């Protein structure tokens, strides 16, 4: 479903965000992507969504090489994905129903289809009775569920959640991940970017750890806690070249909790 082959990304300003990342995510998987801020998680997501293109290497999504993708094909690639933002990005002036319907209108769905599909998806996230509420009338957890409903409504094969619990109460965070788990159980591939170790540990799923632009661990060990440096880091711009970048062993550094 998602293949990274020796992908590196250097931004025009010289920041090395990702370095030689190779990984494979299968259809139907649930994957946590963890790392300190600036480790390269956002770049990883941007590459998947084709918001950025890799400096070298190849990304294959659904068997399609993204380097071969034409500009006008990008929107259709994105229709395979649903994105959940950390800041929800709900439209204040629209009610819950319209916020979710908006994603369907944006891809030109028919009104009749929208009227059927939106209540169904809102029911899935447990917000059917709040359909007419404005986002400001909802709690953070509820807003994130609206955002999730919007990501789901076009029936994507992949759900990408960028720090979905970042603006949500800790007790609600669990609920959000639980919901993502349920969605995953129905066959949707789920990618969750987070830095909340507790949450990651709770759910015993595959965890990909990115640190300083490299995948330093990729494991599904139940009791594993992956260590990564916690300092905020903006890539490799402190280093003259790649050789000076701290190296990690090929096998993940997996420390016992």
Partner 1 sequence: MKGFGYLAKEGLKSVWSNRIMSIASVCVLVSCLVLTGAAALFSINVAQVVESVGDSNETTVYIKSDVSQLEAVYIGKDIEKVSNVASATFYSKDEAFKKYKEELGEELFNKIEDRNPLPDAFIVVMDDLSLYDDTVANILKIDGVDSINDRRELAKKLTDISNLVNIICVGVVAALMIISIFIIANTIRATMYSRRFEISIMKSVGATNSFVRMPFLVEGMVIGFISAAVSTGGIALLYEAVMSAITSMIPFTFIPLSNVILYVAVAFVIAGVVIGFFGSFISIRKYLKKEGNEILGW
Closest among 55, 49, 70 to 21, alpha carbons compared: 55
Q: Minimum CB separation from partner 1 for residue 20, in Å?
A: 22
With respect to partner 1, which residue has the nearer C-beta, 45 or 252? 45
Is residue 9 within 8 Å of residue 17, measured between CB atoms?
yes
β-pairing, 206-211 vs 30-34, is parallel
Q: Where along the sequence are the contacts to partner 1 (CB under 8 A)?
A: 42, 45-46, 49, 51, 72, 75-79, 81-83, 85, 89, 91, 102-103, 105-111, 150, 154, 162
Q: Which residue has the tokens 């994130």?
A: 144
Q: Minimum CB separation from partner 1 for residue 91, in Å?
A: 6
Gap between the Cα atoms of 139 and 94, Å rounded: 16
With respect to partner 1, which residue has the nearer C-beta, 75 or 246? 75
Q: Minimum CB separation from partner 1 for residue 122, in Å?
A: 16
Q: Minimum CB separation from partner 1 for residue 39, in Å?
A: 15
Residue 124: Cβ within 10 Å count = 18
Closest among 7, 2, 53 to 210, alpha carbons compared: 7
With respect to partner 1, which residue has the nearer C-beta, 80 or 225? 80
With respect to partner 1, which residue has the nearer C-beta, 87 or 129? 87
Q: Rg for the chain (alpha carbons), in Å?
A: 19
Q: Minimum CB separation from partner 1 for residue 255, in Å?
A: 30
With respect to partner 1, which residue has the nearer C-beta, 111 or 247? 111
Secondary structure class of 257 (helix, strand, coil) = coil
């Amino acid at each position: 479903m998602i293949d990274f082959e020796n992908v590196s990304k250097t931004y025009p300003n010289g920041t090395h965000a990702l370095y030689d990342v190779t990984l494979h995510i299968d259809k139907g998987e649930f994957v946590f992507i963890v790392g300190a801020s600036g480790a390269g998680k956002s770049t990883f997501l941007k590459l998947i969504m084709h918001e950025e293109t890799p400096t070298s290497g190849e990304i294959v999504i659904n068997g399609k090489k993204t380097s071969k993708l034409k500009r006008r094909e990008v929107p259709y690639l994105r229709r395979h994905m649903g994105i959940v933002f950390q800041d929800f990005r709900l439209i204040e002036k629209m009610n819950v129903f319209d916020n979710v319907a908006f994603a369907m209108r944006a891809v030109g769905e028919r009104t009749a289809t929208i009227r059927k599909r939106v209540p169904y998806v809102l029911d899935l996230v447990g917000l059917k009775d709040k359909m007419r509420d404005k986002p400001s009338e909802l709690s953070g957890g509820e807003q994130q569920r609206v955002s999730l409903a919007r990501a789901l409504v076009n029936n994507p094969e992949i759900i990408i959640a960028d720090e979905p619990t970042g603006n949500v109460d800790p007790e609600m965070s669990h609920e959000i991940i639980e919901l993502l788990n349920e969605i995953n159980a129905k066959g949707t591939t789920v990618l969750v970017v987070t830095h909340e170790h507790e949450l990651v540990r709770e759910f015993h799923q595959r965890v990909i750890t990115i640190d300083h632009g490299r995948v330093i661990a990729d494991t599904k060990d139940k009791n594993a806690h992956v260590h990564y440096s916690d300092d905020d880091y903006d890539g490799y711009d402190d280093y003259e070249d790649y050789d000076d970048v701290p190296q990690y062993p090929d096998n993940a550094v997996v420390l016992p909790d």
